[in-house]
Amino acid sequence: MNRLRQLEDQSVYILREAYKHFDNLAMLWSMGKDSTVLLWLARKAFLGHVPFPLLHVDTSYKIPAMIEYRDRLAREWRLNLVIGQNKEALTAGMNHTLGRVTCCTALKTDALKQLVEEKGYTGIILGVRADEEGTRAKERYFSPRDKNSEWDFRDQPPELWDQFKTAFPEGTHIRIHPLLDWTELNIWEYIKLENIPFIDLYLDRGDGTRYRSLGCAPCTFPIKSTAKTVDEIIEELRHTI
């Protein structure tokens, strides 16, 4: 409990620091467990109101339940939802059969770049965690990007003793990562603690499988699991990670 509240306090602090120091912020919302916890924390940080737009990059291949969940929460929580698409790529027939990397680059990475350029966002808040994969362990809470939105993991500002660099040269695009120190287990424990609504695709619905992560329907596959509740997911993670 204390560890979760420490993580919560730190994330809320980073969100408030980001809002204080950067103009024209936005938050990326994939509707997955991590970005929804981040959205919940933003509502806490700003007393129930999210003061920046929520960006969803719509590839047109999302699982329908994700879109229903997105639209429902956007209504209930009065979110400023901004939806971006790489319409040129979709019109040209871009899809997963052309290769997963090719498709993701066009429909996710390039679509986000287009949205950032169109809206002039100077910073994007994301729900990435350091434990997800190797390079993310080198990320920073406030991570500068170059003019092509590229990240150089070898040239990142030090962040020591809760001292974060928030002063960057004019024109620098910043990625902000308030969940960096959270683990997958922390995420589910916090969902339970706060009773955060989530998509039931994360639960076994009777066939012995559930989704551990969510994305586009053609490239997102369930894992073998009989976890039908958040408590069971937590217990499963405690014995597998």
Digit-coded pLDDT (tens) for 204-237: 999 999 999 999 999 999 999 999 999 999 999 9
Tokens matching residue 99 = 């290769």
Task: Name the residue with tokens 């390039």.
Answer: 110
Whole-angstrom Cα distance, residue 28 to residue 55?
5
Are the C-beta atoms of 38 and 7 separated by less than 8 Å?
no
Share of the chain above pLDDT 90, in %: 79
**pLDDT score at 31:** 96
Are the C-beta atoms of 26 and 55 separated by less than 8 Å?
yes
In terms of DSSP bridges, do strands 25-28 and 54-57 run parallel, antiparallel, or are they unpaired? parallel
**pLDDT score at 55:** 97
**pLDDT score at 145:** 74
Q: Which of 20-24, 33-37, 72-76, 210-214 has the lowest mean pLDDT?
A: 20-24
Q: How many CB atoms lie within 10 A of CB 151?
A: 17
Whole-angstrom Cα distance, residue 12 to residue 14?
5
**pLDDT score at 158:** 63
Are the C-beta atoms of 27 and 56 separated by less than 8 Å?
no
Are the C-beta atoms of 209 and 185 separated by less than 8 Å?
no
Whole-angstrom Cα distance, residue 203 to residue 225?
8
Residue type, 147: K
Average pLDDT over residues 193-214: 96
For the entire predicted model, the pTM comes to: 0.90
Judge whether residue 152 has pLDDT over 70. no
- Parse the chain into domains and list their residue ranges: 2-184, 198-240
Tokens matching residue 51 = 């003061």
Whole-angstrom Cα distance, residue 84 to residue 115?
6
Judge whether residue 165 has pLDDT over 80. no
Q: How are the residues of the chain apportioned to helix, strand and coil, as percentages rounded to the nearest 5? A: 45, 15, 45
Domain 2-184 class, CATH top level: alpha beta
The DSSP element (H or E) to which 81 belongs, if any, is strand 81-84
**pLDDT score at 8:** 98
Q: Show the CA angle centred on residue 200, arms to residues 197 and 206, nearest 5°.
A: 150
